[in-house]
Amino acid sequence: MNIEACYELKKEMNKPKDKKLIKELELKVCLNDNYYFERKLRNKGINFIAGVDEVGRGPLVGPVVAACVVLPEHFNLEGLTDSKKLSEKKREFFYDEIMRQALGVGVGIISEKVIDEVNIYEATKMAMKEAINNCSCKIDHVLIDAMKLDIDIPTTSIIKGDLKSITISAASVIAKVTRDRMLDELDKKYPMYDFKDNKGYPTKKHLEAIKKYGIIDEHRRSYGPVSE
């Protein structure tokens, strides 16, 4: 879809219509304009907009990590999107650029032990709140990938936000690279589990290593393949 078509969709969204149709139109717009949500807020005079995302809900090992990023108004980094859709080389490049250009960055890390105590859903919310609290600049509004948070700052929860919002995309990269580096370090200590490649996810090689060598302190005891 070209830029003219995007503008036509935005015009359509300003006409009275039902909520379902508005959501469908909004989805079409933001998939082609990942500044849509940020621009919508800035038009209301809201300037310090944070994006929040997490990584590490599915792995059997290590923490869940969240990041909070506040970008300048005219931030532009071509190709930035959901970290899962980027190569490791591109993630590392974008990580450095985001850290260089961002107005503020915060990271939240919740250990595997806490995950086992409270469950991964609650641990994810804890990581996100910690990332917001650790952000190095003021925040007027928070855009969150899917999750709803009970915090004192106004929030917008966006399904697949890491694809639709440039700010959430930036947060997804910071969270992903931060956690991947932690697993790379763990791999040096326990190379038999192949953490450098699987990042703690339940691959065949990882599961075979658990059967052969047992589990380590960093494994999540509450996860099926580990607890069995």
For 196-200, the CB contacts below 8 A with 24+ separation are 199/59, 200/56, 200/59, 200/60, 200/61, 200/62
Euclidean distance between CA atoms 59 and 175, whole angstroms: 14
The residues near 150 (Cβ < 8 Å, ≥ 6 apart) are none
| 115 close to 63: Cβ distance less than 8 angstroms | yes
145: annotated binding-site residue?
Answer: yes
Q: Is 73 annotated as a binding residue?
A: no
Distance of CA 56 to the CA centre of its chain: 10
Instruction: Answer yes or no: is 140 a known binding residue.
Output: no
Neighbouring residues of 165: CB distance < 8 A, sequence distance ≥ 6: 30, 34, 36, 37, 38, 51, 143, 158
CA dist 64 and 57 (Å) reads 6
Positions at the binding site for a divalent metal cation: 53-54, 145
Positions at the binding site: 53-54, 145
